[in-house]
Chains A and B, each alone.
Chain A
Amino acid sequence: MAVCVAIIGKDNSPKYISCLNPELELQFHYKVHTSLDVVEEKLTSVGKTTADVRELYLGLLYSTEEHKIFGYVTNTKIKFIIVVESSNTLLRDNEVRTMFRKLHGLYTDVVCNPFYIPGDVITSKNFDTTVRNMMTGNA
Chain B
Amino acid sequence: MADEALFEYLHSELVAYAFKDCEKDKQASDLSTLEYIGFSSGYRIIERLTKEWPRFKDELDTMKFICTDFWSSINKKQIDNLRTNHQGVYVLQDNAFRFLTRLSTGRQYLELAPRYVAFTCGLIRGALSNLGINSMVTAEVQSMPACKFHIQVQRT
A interface list, Cβ under 8 A from B? 10, 46-47, 50, 53-56, 73-77, 104-105, 107-108, 111-112, 114, 118
Contacts and interface: CB of A to CB of B under 8 A. Distances in A.
A55 B55 contact: yes
A107 B51 CA distance: 10
For the residues of B in contact with A, the DSSP-based class is loop
Contacts of B50: 74-76
B131 A108 contact: no
Nearest to B46: A76
B47 A50 contact: no
A76 B57 contact: no
A105 B48 CA distance: 8
A12 B108 CA distance: 50
Which of A54, A74, A75, A108 counts the most chain B CB atoms within 10 A?
Answer: A75
Given A10-B132, A118-B130, A76 B55 contact: no
A13 B130 CA distance: 16
Given A75-B50, A76-B47, A112-B44, A54 B55 contact: yes
A73 B50 CA distance: 12
Nearest to A104: B51
Given A46-B55, A55-B54, A55-B55, A76 B131 contact: yes
A86 B24 CA distance: 68
A105 B130 contact: no
A76 B56 CA distance: 10
19 contacts: A10-B132, A50-B57, A53-B54, A55-B54, A55-B55, A74-B47, A75-B53, A75-B56, A76-B46, A76-B47, A76-B130, A76-B132, A77-B132, A105-B51, A107-B47, A108-B48, A111-B44, A112-B48, A118-B44
Contacts of A74: 47, 50-51
Contacts of B47: 74, 76, 107-108, 111-112
A46 B58 CA distance: 12
B43 interface: yes
Given A54-B55, A54-B57, 15 more contacts: A10-B132, A50-B57, A54-B54, A54-B56, A55-B54, A74-B47, A74-B50, A75-B46, A75-B53, A76-B131, A107-B47, A108-B47, A112-B47, A114-B44, A118-B130
B96 to A, nearest CB: 29
A74 B46 CA distance: 11
Contact of B51 (A77, A108, A114): A108
A75 B44 contact: no
Interface in B23-61: 43-44, 46-48, 50-51, 53-57
A59 B100 CA distance: 47
